[in-house]
Amino acid sequence: MSKCGRKKYIRTNLRQMTMETIESHQDGRVTDSMAEGGSAHMQTQTGQNSIPTLAQASYRRGLMILQESWEKKVSVAGSGTGRGSPDVTLVQLPSGQTIHVQGVIQTPQPSVIQSPQIQTVQVATIAETDESAESEGVIDSHKRREILSRRPSYRKILNELSSDVHGVVPKIEEEKSEEEGTPPNIATMAVPTSIYQTSTGQYTATGDMPTYQIPAPTTGLPQGVVMAASPGSLHSPQQLAEEATRKRELRLMKNREAAKECRRRKKEYVKCLESRVAVLEVQNKKLIEELETLRDICSPKAD
DNA sequence: CTGCCCTGCCGTCAGCGGCT
DNA sequence: AGCCGCTGACGGCAGGGCAG
């Protein structure tokens, strides 16, 4: 295995997501939650074989942490009608003015970036690490899948969150926005339902889908892609093999584009989360300051 | 200059979930 | 049930930085 790849994965994603972001939380009043990202991070430094699992868990956890913190914040800062909405206290100012103060600080919220589920996951992960130190590497993919249960797509998540909180984070466009700079000979991806190669090297969608244009022939696109025949007209084994090859190349091509798109969305998603963290930190500070001010006003003077 | 490490990006595979 | 899109995981490559 390419340690570089793994290390890279761990270092970039884990460090950036878990450490930097969470650390940036800490500079405020947010209580320490490094126990999660931090411990996972440390563990990844230990065993080679356990690195993938732990790192994956940590990375995902990082994302989950960020998202959950956001959701918590949103529920706190929201109108108070949602689930788990904070207490709203009426505070009478000396001037007679009554204001609503939401119990931001008092809320049983040990850390903005903690979540029970996440801890559960971590326990499971650590337990695995401990007891399978010798037999590690045997964490089968099923277990991993369970731990790292699938989440909705980044686009979905972002769009949902965006609809929750307007103006904080822009939605991810259905189809890219930053690919305007795409060289003209690079395909702007369409997702054709069925594509056939023309003699000019163009994939033409049969439906009302846009067309996928092959980059220059020099880009190593599937040579094996052959003219499609209508399924019924395939008889000889060679034709069948060609058809299979064509399908495979087509699938690879689509997946290639999908992977690119996915990475782009992921980046955008992470950026959004980071910007949310920044916004919420500011918000949090303001609320805390406000609370202090109100306390000063309301509480009897000690001296 | 060379070797090593880090980082970013890419292509591919596997598996899940939604859709028809 | 099969197809298809999405995404985690993995391995590879290129480029930059740095120490020897």
The residue assigned the tokens 């009554």 is: A98
Where residue A168 falls among pLDDT bands split at 50, 70, 90? very low
Q: In this predicted model, what pLDDT tens digit does every residue of A227-278 receive, in sequence order?
A: 333 444 556 777 777 777 788 888 888 888 888 888 888 888 888 888 888 8
Q: What is the DSSP letter of A9?
A: H
Footprint of strand C on the protein (CB under 7 A): A 1-2, 4-6, 8-9, 52, 56-57, 59-60, 63, 144, 148, 151-156, 191-194, 254-255, 258-259, 261-262, 265-266
Q: Where are the alpha helices (DSSP H) in A132-236?
A: 141-147, 154-164
**A203 φ, ψ to 5°?**
-95, 120
Q: Is the CB of A145 under 7 A from strand B?
A: yes
Q: Which carries the bigger pLDDT value, residue A151 or residue A203?
A: A151
State in Å, rounded, how far the first CA of chain A is from the last one: 68
Report the distance separating Cα A17 and Cα A21, nearest Å.
6
Cβ proximity of A107 and A86 under 8 Å: yes
* Sign of the CA dihedral with A12 first, then A37, A277, and A285 last: negative
Query: Which one is predicted more confidently, A96 or A225?
Result: A96
Per-residue flag: A151 CB under 7 A of strand B: no
Q: What's the one-letter identity of residue A247? A: K
Distance, in Å, from the CA atom of A45 to the CA atom of A58, rounded to the nearest integer, reads 12
Q: What is the phi/psi pair of residue A15, to 5°? A: -65, -50
Q: pTM higher than 0.75 for the full model?
A: no
- Cα A52 to chain center, whole Å? 18
The mean pLDDT value of chain A amounts to 47
C-alpha to C-alpha distance for A166 and A275, rounded to whole angstroms? 14
